Structure 1
Amino acid sequence: MDYKAISPEAIGYLYKAHQQFRKNIGEERLLALAELRVSQLNGCAFCCGYHAGELRQMGVSQELLDELPGWKLSGRFHAKERLVLQWAEEVTAIGTVSPATLQQLEQFFSRQEVVDITAGIALMNALNRIRIALGDH
């Protein structure tokens, strides 16, 4: 189903919000890595391909992308990336959100950035679900 054509204004707002969250964070790569991880967790093949390609265009190595599913055991991810990936997994599996992870985020990021990272992760979960439910597979 071509959901973007059927409801262009509403879906357009979702994509505009997505762009704004990335802009507000300033480190576009961080949220893009989180979006790819969320898409992997949700099993959205289209989104995984899209975000992997996008990250390659940002200069992220294929080796790093290959290790993303096992990021916890990889030495390739720096502290901020590890923290955002941890938060992405916790927010995606909603029952596992940890106050300790939130406190760590607040050490690295402003409160607005924490909100924008969290909203960006939540939005990616929504976009994955829309694509999986209504998109071409």
Structure 2
Amino acid sequence: MTTPRIRNAQAYKLAPEQLKAMMALEESFRDSGLEAELLELIKLRVSQINGCAFCLHMHSSDLIKLGVDPMKLHVLAAWRESGYYSARERAAFGWAEALTLVSQTHAPDSDYEALRAEFSEEEQVRLTYAIGAINTWNRLAVGFRFAHPIEQVRAAA
């Protein structure tokens, strides 16, 4: 368990305009035409890559509330080897990984071609915004070491 550098509620109070903008961006995804389950799976996968416990807790909880098979969450880190995911999900995961690790991958053509095969240009852009947004949330939470609810309960004990 790590000690928060700045607590999430405090960070949000310190930059209310930025929080408002991020929340408006998140709200826009609800009306984006992209499936809620897909967006949450992307958030979970990117949070796995970035090692964000706060976001892993949040998005796995959100996926369970959506009624997603828990096994789909358990094997997400190994999505390339699993048969649980559709071609559309796989294309989105590949693109999300490529962009999250962009300094290493440089967004390869193979990942973009897989994306293009499953998503319209409009969906590609919207998905890319969603990937960028979760990376921003992860950087806030990891950088400031936001505690997820289980850690908050343990800290109070």
TM-score range for the pair, normalised by the shorter chain length? over 0.9
Q: Does 1:4 align with 2:12?
A: yes
2:52 is aligned, of 20, 40, 44, to: 44
SS at match of 1:70: helix
1:64 is aligned, of 72, 79, 101, to: 72
**Contact residue 38 and residue 124 of structure 1 kept, 8 A:** yes
Q: Does 1:17 align with 2:25?
A: yes
**Contact residue 39 and residue 47 of structure 1 kept, 8 A:** yes
Q: Does 1:92 align with 2:100?
A: yes
**Contact residue 88 and residue 119 of structure 2 kept, 8 A:** no
Aligned length: 137
The equivalent residue for 1:128 is 138
The alpha-carbon deviation at position 106 of structure 1 amounts to: 2.1
**Contact residue 25 and residue 117 of structure 1 kept, 8 A:** no
Identity score, percent: 34
SS at match of 2:146: coil
Q: Does 1:79 align with 2:80?
A: no
The equivalent residue for 2:151 is none
Please list every run of at least 4 consecutive aligned residues from structure 1 whose deviation after the TM superposition is greater than 4 angstroms.
none
- 1:44 maps to a residue whose letter is C
The alpha-carbon deviation at position 23 of structure 1 amounts to: 2.4
The alpha-carbon deviation at position 6 of structure 1 amounts to: 1.4
2:114 is aligned, of 84, 104, 119, to: 104
Which segments of 5 or more consecutive residues in structure 2 lack a partner in the other structure?
A: 1-5, 148-157
**Contact residue 36 and residue 52 of structure 1 kept, 8 A:** yes
- 1:48-103 CA-partner distances (Å, limit 9, x unpaired): 01000001111111111101111111111111111111111111000311122212
- 1:4-35 CA-partner distances (Å, limit 9, x unpaired): 11112211211211221342133111111011
